[in-house]
Amino acid sequence: MIKKGLMVLFVVLVSSSFVSAKVGDNVRIGGTYLGVLNSLKSKTAQFEFASNIDFTYVMNKRLTVMLQVQGGSGAGSLGFSGRAISFSDILFLYDLPEYQSHITVGSFDMPIGLGTGHLTNNADSFNHPFILNNLFYSSLANGVGTFNTLGLMVKRFDKMFNTTVAITNGTAGDASNANNTFATLLQLSSDSLVNKLNISGTYLKTNDQMDPASSESFRTDLTLSFVDARYALSKDVYLAGHYGQLIFDDNNSATKDKVTVLGAEIGYDNSDYFTAIGISYWTPEDKDGSGSGMSDDIKKPGLFESAVADDEIKRYQIAIGMHIDKNTQLKIEF
């Protein structure tokens, strides 16, 4: 079964940092605003708006408190926050320079791959040439969100490798943990093995099968293995790629639970203009589009509501943009 569709995002409004100011010596307030005019084939074009407000309080030389509040117009087609204000990251960051480490406690983005630092996070797309995240990261949150979770994370920075360990409630961004088990994550990364190459490997295991239907979690026994890399071809040009497998175990031996993800991206960015081309694949082990034979827990990260969980999805993205000033971008994405 083959389904084709074209989505065009005309970002004719601006994605801009509207506040970046210090309040006293220890408090900083910042934020981003994003306006989008988009059109999905067979759907009416619409304006969408989103905003983030960030608060940072440096309590002392070791301890920093961070809070992000998100909002949006709601009722859109891309997944921006709704009209109700929501709290995203709420965390304490404790620095341990004598151990080359820091500890994060609270609500934070689960660090799956290098791409976590290059995602659209509601109104903030400044670290990302596209508006929409690729299919893999769209499956973890949505096309314009990040995989937020609640728990403890420790990062250690060594000469050759950086190590991240996280223990969280699971795949929900709230405090629900009906399974009475924790998600565990281990990530190793390095930018020292090859000049200009940054590479990362991540393993995640979590069981959220007992979470109630009202929970935001995946409600599955999830195993995730993921590798990605980013290479600086020059000062202005980068190449990025990823490969991974997700197993959505539904405790049914008759179904196929595995999904393979693959993607690549090349981009150019200077002080005036930027452009990028990206491709990402979402390939279930059962990919015949019949709507049966696959795990009922498998996500559907695409934009088309008619897709079923055993559809293979391919996403091609092209973005062109300009830096109007250091705080304002204009983008067009196909």
Output 37 or 188, whichever has higher pLDDT: 188
| The pLDDT of residue 190 is above 70 | yes
The pLDDT assigned to 2 comes to: 47
> What angle is formed at CA 73 by the lines to CA 68 and CA 78, rounded to 5 degrees?
85
Q: Region 317-332: what's the mean pLDDT?
A: 88
pLDDT tier at 78, thresholds 50, 70, 90: confident
The pLDDT assigned to 14 comes to: 43
Please give the mean pLDDT across all residues of the chain. Answer: 89
Query: Bridge-partner residues for 246, per DSSP?
Result: 224, 259
Residue 80 CB coordination number (10 Å): 25
Gap between the Cα atoms of 126 and 161, Å rounded: 27
Joined together, the tokens standing for residue 251 give: 């405790």
Residue 91 CB coordination number (10 Å): 19
The pLDDT assigned to 306 comes to: 72
**Percent of the residues in the chain that have a pLDDT greater than 90, as a whole number:** 63
Gap between the Cα atoms of 162 and 27, Å rounded: 29
pLDDT tier at 13, thresholds 50, 70, 90: very low
Burial letters for 128-138: b for 16+ Cβ neighbours within 10 Å, e otherwise? bbbbbbbbbbb
Q: Which of 235, 268, 226 is nearest to 116 (CA)?
A: 226
Q: Are strands 7-23 and 27-40 parallel, antiparallel or unpaired?
A: antiparallel
Q: Which of 50, 63, 61, 60 is nearest to 106 (CA)?
A: 63
| The pLDDT of residue 158 is above 80 | yes
| The pLDDT of residue 7 is above 60 | no
| The pLDDT of residue 180 is above 70 | yes
pLDDT tier at 230, thresholds 50, 70, 90: very high
The pLDDT assigned to 291 comes to: 87
Gap between the Cα atoms of 19 and 28, Å rounded: 10
Query: Bridge-partner residues for 187, per DSSP?
Result: 164, 202
pLDDT tier at 148, thresholds 50, 70, 90: very high
The pLDDT assigned to 214 comes to: 78
Q: Region 256-267: what's the mean pLDDT?
A: 97
Q: Region 181-196: what's the mean pLDDT?
A: 96
pTM of this prediction? Answer: 0.92
Query: Bridge-partner residues for 32, per DSSP?
Result: 52
Q: Region 114-143: what's the mean pLDDT?
A: 93
